[in-house]
Amino acid sequence: MPINWSVDLDTGIEVIDHQHRQIVDFINQLEVVNTTHDKAKLKEVVDACVDYTLSHFAFEESLQEEAGYKYCKPHKKVHELFTRKVAEYQQRVDLGEDVGGELHGMLARWLVNHIKRDDADYVAAVKANMVDIIKEKEEKQETKGWFSRFFK
């Protein structure tokens, strides 16, 4: 069954929700490919899914670090453990093993859980930091505006 996006998967951070939706989309594609038993296509989807997920992790980790999120190190560790597990599957796919179904099940379970629990936990810290950054930018803009008016 494909994963249907539900509100409990929303973090409320637009850019993160967009990336999570993309990942869910890849997982759903994987489910479809598994029914065809096309090994080349399976490899293509798995590689694309893993690449995208790894850049999402890096992006998420940088947001957390910038925000001074207190669990950013354990969160990174969780990402790393998952990455290692997925890399093992990727090797098996490369060897032509029929692990598509197993991999799909693991990805779907892990990701939904991770978004709902671990990712949901950093949202408040990252959002607060984003508000500060936007405020800072607006203040700078205002000063710039004020100066330009003065020197016209």
Query: By the criterion CB under 5 A, which residues form the site for Fe ion?
Result: 60, 119
Q: Assign residue 69 a region: left if phi > 0, alpha if psi is -120 to 50, beta otherwise?
A: beta
- Residue 91 CA, chain-centre distance (Å), reads 22
Nearer to Fe ion, 34 or 64 (CB): 64
Task: Determine contact, residues 86/50, Cβ cutoff 8 Å.
Answer: yes
Nearer to Fe ion, 24 or 45 (CB): 24
Nearer to Fe ion, 31 or 119 (CB): 119
- Smallest distance, Å, CB 146 to Fe ion? 40
What is the greatest pairwise CA distance in the chain?
Answer: 71
- Smallest distance, Å, CB 147 to Fe ion? 41
Nearer to Fe ion, 29 or 64 (CB): 64
**CB crowding 97-118: b at 16 or more within 10 Å, else e:** eebbeebbeebbebbbebbeee
- Smallest distance, Å, CB 88 to Fe ion? 20
- Smallest distance, Å, CB 8 to Fe ion? 14
